[in-house]
Amino acid sequence: MAHLATVQLRGVLFKVSERARQRMLAQRQRNVHAYAIGTFTTAAQPLATELISYNPYTAGHFFCVGSQAPIHRTPAVVLCNGKAYVLPNRQQDEKSQ
């Protein structure tokens, strides 16, 4: 196991278990029900600048913070200092796949 300040995932697919999300909403108790799947790579200098987030109380999907647009997959995600970023204008909705 390693600890890195910055990590990059390539070929990322965001997943949310709606059943587990509904259980979390009903119980008002946090649980792991949303995650990103991708291929691990290191990122020496993060180039991604579009902040993304997930809030189970407002929507059942990940979203770009600035535009509030849903994001379901993307070519790459950079994880740095507890936050997740994608390249601006590089996010891809699953409907376009």
Q: Is residue 58 one of the residues assigned to a domain?
A: yes
Q: Is residue 77 one of the residues assigned to a domain?
A: yes
Tally of domains within the chain: 1
Closest listed residue to residue 42, CA positions, set 65, 8, 93: 8
Q: Is residue 1 one of the residues assigned to a domain?
A: no
Q: Is residue 16 one of the residues assigned to a domain?
A: yes
Q: Is residue 34 one of the residues assigned to a domain?
A: yes
Q: Mind listing the pLDDT tens digit for each residue in 6-35?
A: 888 999 999 999 999 999 999 999 899 999
Q: Is residue 29 one of the residues assigned to a domain?
A: yes
In 20-69, DSSP assigns E strands to 34-42, 50-54, 62-64
Q: Mind listing the pLDDT tens digit for each residue in 47-75?
A: 668 999 999 999 999 999 999 999 999 99
Q: Is residue 30 one of the residues assigned to a domain?
A: yes
Q: DSSP code of 94? A: G
